[in-house]
Structure 1
Amino acid sequence: MFTVLGLETKDEAVYREMLESPALGVEEIAARLATSPDRVRACLDKLFELQLIQESFEAPGRFLAVEPAVGIQQLLARQRDELIERQRQMADSHASFIRMLAGTGSASSRGSGVERLEGMDAVQQRLRELARDAAREVLTFMPGGPQSAAALQAARHNDEHALARGVAIRTIGLDGVRDDAATLDYARWLTEQRGEFRTAASLPPRMVLVDGASALIPIDPDNTRKGALCLSDPALLAPLLALFEQTWERSAPLGTEHRHTLTDRERALLTYIAQGHTDESAAKQLHLSPRTTRRMMASLMDQLGARSRFEAGLKAARLGWL
């Protein structure tokens, strides 16, 4: 978990020492970890930059570890903001790329590598052809939030035939579709049919990429009803494929990265566990029996896919549960 958040093994070790023994100085931490004081100071600089440690108000020049539940939330919030900004930059670059292609001329021959399809009827016809001929995979950006009933029906019809032939389908929608019943039903149907659906905070303009050999992108990203460009030139498809894979890696599968509804007791329990409490000490804080606390914790760990209580606290913070 710490590695995913940008910390190296030594950084984590220094952080844990400061949590467990707040009175230790640099020299003592270095001795415990069998490393040099300069290496510990470098770790402290990094931890301070990440807001996992802070300067003591009572003793200026001395640093204290921030509780994991607080520090991890701050770090994740910053990483989330950076991720959203990177996604926005990618979306802007992709939109500029589309506008550049749309303005290069009125190519209409498939042999040119760029075919112009005017109007939605022509686009839907080509989508049906691509779905029919797909042999390996179909990759889709689905921006615009909740989708219309007609669009979802067409997507399900095309996907159903492709999936029946063993074609892999991966689709990325906006985070907002998680709150739209119709679009969410489609996403769940797709995953039940062994397709994959993820969401992101922001997306490039709409795109369908088939077998790495053909792609449909809108002529005008701000008005998709004008039609689309059908690309088949490998030089144009390569950056689109790379963009999809980068966006996919930074997107969240259904069931994750979405705020989970916790009871007050569950939230308090996870907070205590993230702070280092045992089940027994957390039970005392919550005025519950240790047996009840262990049962609650086992259920939460199962939901989080965590192998330890400490990992459960970190994952809960990362997923925005706390």
Structure 2
Amino acid sequence: MSTTGNAVPRTGPFESLGLSPGQAALYAAALRLHRATPAELAEAVDRPAADVLDALDSLVRLGAVDRRREEVVARHPAEVIGRLVAERLDRMARESRCLDEMITAAGRLARHYDTGRDWRGGGLPVERVSGAGALYEGVIGHALQAPPADLVMAVPDHRTVVRFANTHSAQWIRAAADGVVRLRAIVPHAALSSPAVREMYERFTAAGANLRALDEVPSWFLALGDGTAWLPVQWGVPLPDNAYNCCVVHAPAAAGALRALFGELWARAAPISPHSGARQVLRLAAQGLSDDAVARRLGVSVRTVRARFAEAMAELGAQSRFHAGVEAARRGWL
């Protein structure tokens, strides 16, 4: 007896989940009969027995029915659909990850293309910047084009750090707090003697930025993201000595080189702590410098140097400067 007149519609939920029309019709018949022989299923869908056996094997592989000796037992549709949906979602997730990887690869390949274009064009795209205001405001302007931007900066001299803290740091602190930039900066230990720099450090830290100190920073430089770098017109010379003249280079090679240098310096730099000034004088004294020489190096008075020695001894629980030096070396301060 044929039941094809009201078996299943040609397009239904099972077909949308990947079952062929023949598989969907056979599964619908198996559901209605619940338990049937292959011959009974063939009659129900009005198809040759050989075709039914092939489709039936496919349904068994899909987990839609079970073969038990000479009988076919249908599984509950919620179980079957749930498994098929889960498999489809897994495929979609894998395809989504592939698309994300393709988009990421496109960005990397585009940088190679830009590098080749710039080389063939006879030079790199370079802008000239003059003046502290144009420099520091320009950096934030570039960051605003694609926030949050990963920003690294190194400053080698006390004078530049202090002027930045007094005049331009507020805009950068606001940008860090607003999520426009993710800032890491390296400053010289000597700059930490300035109250303005200490206050700037505390405000930057509260905004989510990260600053470290190093005894000697080779030069001023700055890199934003993977494609933009700021370089001084003369490497190693403080910016004020050249009226804050610098070059903005839009090239992954330049930004990558500066990021690599920054990474080396960052690994050697020390986190800034409330007792960085005390550690500073211990480090310089361990190099054989007298109180007067330490004061000149840091740009502070001899009285300040001795007060910091006292602070270091108190923190270390030392009874003498020699004992403080031994304990500082043991703790890795030097």
The normalised TM-score by structure 2 is: 0.45
Q: Whose Rg is larger?
A: 2
